[in-house]
Structure 1
């Protein structure tokens, strides 16, 4: 594990006390490192010499920690309450300009000036801003660290509107109340809360140019007056009660903001164009230079020129894959890639970024490729990433920008040359590997064999082939025309991706940030809705469960009360596991596939979907033959029934209905004897047809067994003439 930004360092002093620090900033060119003590109240960033810290790590006095309990858990807006979103946005607005001033915010004097400017702009008090900053530094320098920890407070999620309006005033005592004894404002009950929200909807949302203050005053006049005062011209003026009997503007703003999404309200009020121009969040900016490893990554996708087959059934050709590659601009090191069937989309980019943060030693071990950490040392997020317009344009990039502090830049249309580095990697893949694979796309002439029929590789096998290709590139490639500066020439560093990477970590200011794979997965995995059924949590045609579900008897409740929907996260590469995302829970809850109820087996979701589609196709193809067979058998059965009815109708009975019913048992016994006599041991002989007029008593009866003799004796006693 490398010493990079965001990692934890643990030190034990001579007294046995343990100090845990988070690395906030590294500048290798100036031999500087900034860290903060996580176990000390009101701690501030501390500057150290990078070389000294590295020496302590090498000597064993310090160690890097893999687990990070202080790191803020990524949580989307769907998991947050209105109060949590409001608290996060308020904290971010207070410190945004400060944390963007790196590394100045780590220096005492410069930080003081930045905080003074924030105070002058009314973003909060000095203690409040420092509280937000410490939460930001302590939680991993992401916006998730600013989410309020309401789970540690009482009455989670309960609205305090139930107490009587005549009861004591809730909330902190104001200065007016402290000095004068007059209590301004009232307790907000359900009726008052509904009116405050209605005021915002009526007077603020749909009227441009009206401020919240103006909407509040107009709403008081309409909904909280005590009557009217007539003017000389007959106009009626609403009469308001004393101010201490009215809800305050702060209460109006709080309850309206709690009930409404501020972004949606602004969008409705201003319109999409004005909102995008003046109000939407900034999602990153373009950067043209890479100062070291991790300063700038480039990502792009292409459709591979090879046809693949299904891993479940090699007879099924599944088409051409979509390949994503992520390259470090400074070193040209391939830091991550993915191969799938998802078209160029946010989903594919998510999987590529998940691989960027994956430990490559563990990844290669899962493919049966043993490597050492120095052969593929990339498992970090960058400072910025540049991409095509599409995957990382618009709201899709919010998970990277807000969750992992990665700046995003998109190239203009038709300007692939702006990220020629990653484009060159695709040429490498095609020229070196793909064009020689079975099923590769090639030019054909009429009469030649269709190259698609030669497809043999699965997605997993192609992924393994590309892993070998990128390992070879990182270790052996020499970048032509690489712009080496004087420092590189003096160090005699070759223009090889691995050598440039390791040299850049020692001599240049890279911005690599480490996040645990669990955090990356939780922040980037796609979301969906699953159905809780009596058989388990169903997503697609697969069923899942976990200890949380079993402990609460969800399957029994679904059988008794009906099904319901739950929000989940899923891994497109594996159907063996999904994650339950519950409101109020920080972490995702892993749910495993239930054996025997489904046949996923951990294969990628797109292969399962292909199987489902093929099963439906075969079912529809067979439906016609099944219907035809059913019609044929129905006709044959009807013929038998018609023949039986005709036979009965052509042989009228001379007995009464009562006689016919009383003779059932005797007729049955005679029929059994006739069947045995006619067929004997040869059951293939047809039975003797009963003559018209009913069954006759046989003249001679063979004695098959004592039971048969007893039956005959019983028949002799019956009155056949009755």
Structure 2
């Protein structure tokens, strides 16, 4: 029943339609008694919306069998029932205050129980739904469960078990925790434990005592203030701190504050399910993830070059745990790395293994299909990157939240297999233990190439698919009945036969056109150039493209390329549905089908070498320029130190005469040997005071015109 001021919750105990009466009791009041009301009035209240029937009864006693009760609970229930049974047996009369009062008075006179006891048991019986279970003692509510025991009196007796030192000395040790102290202990825990500092309980308490329990400061000679603490018997103990902070803290909130939301989600949250339940058969859901391999590689073109650690992508079928594809490249965790793995998913594994010299049958790796859905990381499969999968191959894409590797536990376990089973034993493997001084750098032991590691991983995954036993695999009723072995290859074949088919096959050409990266190449007289490599095909040769490029100039064409292999690209022409395969032109600089990542590394190293040479050349030019500038500066100083007596016009008119005189001086300054060997040698010129010309003026003018700068004239 509801009104503007109060909300009353009543239980209907009895209805008498002939008398238009109903008996109710307020279930919220421990000592409430039954009340007679008008049935028609309550019906009107229900119709008017002022009163409503509740669907949930929170005060109804929970029925419990005797086997669920303790001996004390059974005996308490039976004693209470034996007291009120005569009243309850009176039927509707027990709701009449006068009749009930007379009956209880007679029972009290008989010594059955006191009047308050009768009404206490009856009230519990009525409010609990008028069942015997309502009389079961509520021991769980006894003792003030959840109420803090605090005392504010400073001189009150110390609570709790006496310490050993108190038994020996008779002196109480420690303090009682009052409300103020309890609040401070909780505050200390929140301030010093729920942080990234990773303080211990003891250290947090010490910091809190210095801040909140000091009684003053001791000032050092340099002015530093040192908090002074009272006697240890006047301070809370570490056990009291653990108890009161532990009672108040929210474990989840504390862990999030201390470890961070990311670590909490990954390591501390409750386990809510098993990823296999997402898939009902092979191909329902694939999981993809990447890791950096724990091994250093070398270049296949020049094994002396260490190219770093590879990025390994693995794609796993969630239902069978079968490894359906992988990639090994130098591409960082990105859409490009995921593309390589998906391209391998759709690759015929027999042909793939044959290209590496491994012979298998189709049943040993029967996967060249796309799934119905794929679960990956936000980085690789988020945004426009995933459009190729969704639009071209109708694959639904789902992304896990950030830093939630536990949502892809199936594929994450494969990385442990790769590292522990294979990579840690290869030359150049990363050593997790600390190296001692003088130990050899493990990176110098690297001998594996990308192609070699790809072959090793292929053998590793073939072994896993055929031989591994998946511990704890959640087999359903059909699998248990048919005794299906929890092995990836066995589960895959069984799922194809007994589960809904979700696998989708696409031709390799369609996969290349839909997934492999696109770029533009330049048509040149030597061939179609992409990067620093040249390619050609029958179409290019038949249409004379190389000759046309030499005659009319280069142009651009769209291509598709495979990052795994540089020996082939595909020409994408307008109006052609199929891609045209172009092979590398044979030459001394041919790449020999090495991965593009290694070629790009070579390009980068060549560019670095070129820049180093440019730097050396620049430094050499700077050294000579400085010397040249020094010579020029000395000439300016020498000229500026001499007085100029002639006018500018006179200085210009004397250029020819000065030139001839300088020639004669140069010849005179030559060593005697060079003068003897010079058939053109002439006698020393007369002094400038004699002014005797060597040639006629007309001849001298003609000679000067041949050697002098006209602009200077």
TM-score where L is the length of structure 2 = 0.49
Task: Identify the structure with bigger relative contact order (alpha carbons < 8 Å, sequence gap 6+).
Answer: 1
TM-score where L is the length of structure 1 = 0.48
